[in-house]
Amino acid sequence: MNYFKALIFIFLIGQISAQESQSILLLNGYLHIGNGEVIESGLVGIKNRKIELVRNSLAYTYKKEDWDTIIDLQGQHIYPAFIAPNSTLGLTEIDAVRATRDFDEVGDYNPHIRSQIAFNVESKVISTVRTNGVLLAQATPRGGDISGTSSIMALDGWNWEDATVLQDDGIHLNWPVSASESGTSDEVSKTNKKENYIKEKRAIYQFFEMSKRYTNTSEKAQNDVRLDAMIACFKGEKRVYIHANELQQLQDIIDFSIHFDLPFPVIVGGYDSHLVTKKLKDASIPVMLVRTHSLPQNDEDAIDFPYHLPAMLQDAGVKFCLQNEGAMETMNARNLPFQAGTAMAYGMTEEQAIRSISLSTCEIVGIDKEYGSIEEGKSATLFVSQGNALDMRTNHVNVAIIRGVFMPTSNFQEELYERYMRKYKK
């Protein structure tokens, strides 16, 4: 593979402007379309940043003069870009340094706060994530009752404007801690917890009632930036991402979504979602599923329960994708493919697991017409791995392309490793 890496390096040393005009042909790759289909000897043609051809290499004759760059992959795997939803990637750099954390604003109801303009394209962490095939991310705010509005960002660009794939895709609502959540033993605490839950839930209902009335008012005496940000949620132009895990929360969220007739509600977390699959299907509510590599949340659950959860939703027919919220989530976004690999080992097929971090995610956030699968007419955002990208032993990205432009396939961690290996090799 040394020759192959050298070839890619030659491509990358050119100027970006020159790369943008290239027509690229990838040959003889094991092609994972992203929608469940596979072409064992696949051909992908890219022109004007779009995918122009998806064919079987053995059944298609091409002319060399029609392509600026032709790469024979010799059986390596081609994947659509993996996307990290519900992530603080690009919004934080070092968790222990407050000045590098830009995802949590003061206040409880902040639908008008936009993560898009805080996205840092120069983040060192981004390169470490990109070299595992994660090429897109949903930059997501945290904190408060309504954290703010997320945006879908490419993990490349001169600035946040250049990196934007979808501006202001949805607001993020943190559902209150339910009264039945474990951890409370005495009756007084349980009663207080129930009263707090009812009070906090009522406040959310009141804010959404006010927002809906504001949306339906044609002549407003005075504009409110918070309520202005809510208008698109009721018109179907923004998702409403509701963060919750426990059964009572999920049932109340389903009722809440129906009550306000929300066009695109999404549950983020959904640890107990396997208990309400029929309700979720009937209400057409997808789930961004809790981190696969996590411990059980209930004492009675098996230690490997989170590993089985994706397959349980898959079998039940609930639309879902995988996400990585939790401790050290920014740097661990690079492990998203391996979470899908664990889900594959515990009941999902390989193509279902790939879909759960590519096309399914794009469908849920609303960018599936351009991203998520390798199909003609879509954005040329994909990568090539030496082996199976869901396996940490064989995920070795040799080619990465974001919106038709080659990306570096190394990062500063690899460079430091090679530097000190040379120093201490003797």
Instruction: Give yes or no: residues 162 and 256 share one domain.
Output: yes
Tens-digit pLDDT profile for residues 251-296: 999 999 999 999 999 999 999 999 999 999 999 999 999 999 999 9
Q: How many domains does the chain have?
A: 2
The yes-or-no verdict on residue 425 having pLDDT over 90 is: no
CA quadruple 112, 286, 308, 272: dihedral positive or negative?
positive
Confidence of residue 309 (pLDDT cuts 50, 70, 90): very high
Using only the alpha carbons of the chain, give its radius of gyration.
Answer: 23
Q: Which one of 324, 342, 370 terminates a domain?
A: 370
Residues 6 or more apart from 395 whose CB is under 8 A from it?
Answer: 132, 133, 337, 338, 385, 387, 388, 389
In a domain? residue 378 = no
Instruction: Give yes or no: residues 38 and 161 share one domain.
Output: no
| Residues forming beta bridges with residue 53, ordered by sequence position | 45
Residues 6 or more apart from 99 whose CB is under 8 A from it?
Answer: none
CA 357, CA 364: separation in Å to the nearest integer? Answer: 11
Instruction: Give yes or no: residues 73 and 198 share one domain.
Output: no
H or E segment at 398? strand 397-402
In a domain? residue 375 = no
Instruction: Give yes or no: residues 338 and 219 share one domain.
Output: yes
Instruction: Give yes or no: residues 216 and 335 share one domain.
Output: yes
Q: Which class for 326: exposed (0-12), middle (13-18), buried (19 or more C-beta within 10 A)?
A: exposed
Kindly report the length of the chain.
Answer: 426
The yes-or-no verdict on residue 182 having pLDDT over 60 is: no
The yes-or-no verdict on residue 29 having pLDDT over 70 is: yes
Instruction: Give yes or no: residues 22 and 142 share one domain.
Output: no
Confidence of residue 20 (pLDDT cuts 50, 70, 90): low
CATH code for position 88: 3.20.20.140
Instruction: Give yes or no: residues 39 and 138 share one domain.
Output: no
The token pair at 426 is 């003797």
In a domain? residue 25 = yes
| Residues forming beta bridges with residue 136, ordered by sequence position | 83, 154
CATH code for position 38: 2.30.40.10
The model scores a pTM over 0.85? yes
In a domain? residue 379 = no
Tens-digit pLDDT profile for residues 199-242: 999 999 999 999 999 998 887 777 889 999 999 999 999 999 99
Q: Are 171 and 146 in contact (CB under 8 A)?
A: yes
Instruction: Give yes or no: residues 326 and 250 share one domain.
Output: yes
In a domain? residue 24 = yes
In a domain? residue 108 = yes
The yes-or-no verdict on residue 21 having pLDDT over 60 is: no
In a domain? residue 382 = no
Instruction: Give yes or no: residues 66 and 96 share one domain.
Output: no
73 SS3 class:
coil
In a domain? residue 380 = no
Q: Which one of 342, 370, 398 terminates a domain?
A: 370
Instruction: Give yes or no: residues 240 and 100 share one domain.
Output: yes
Instruction: Give yes or no: residues 70 and 155 share one domain.
Output: no
Instruction: Give yes or no: residues 334 and 274 share one domain.
Output: yes
Which range of residues forms the domain containing residue 364? 82-370
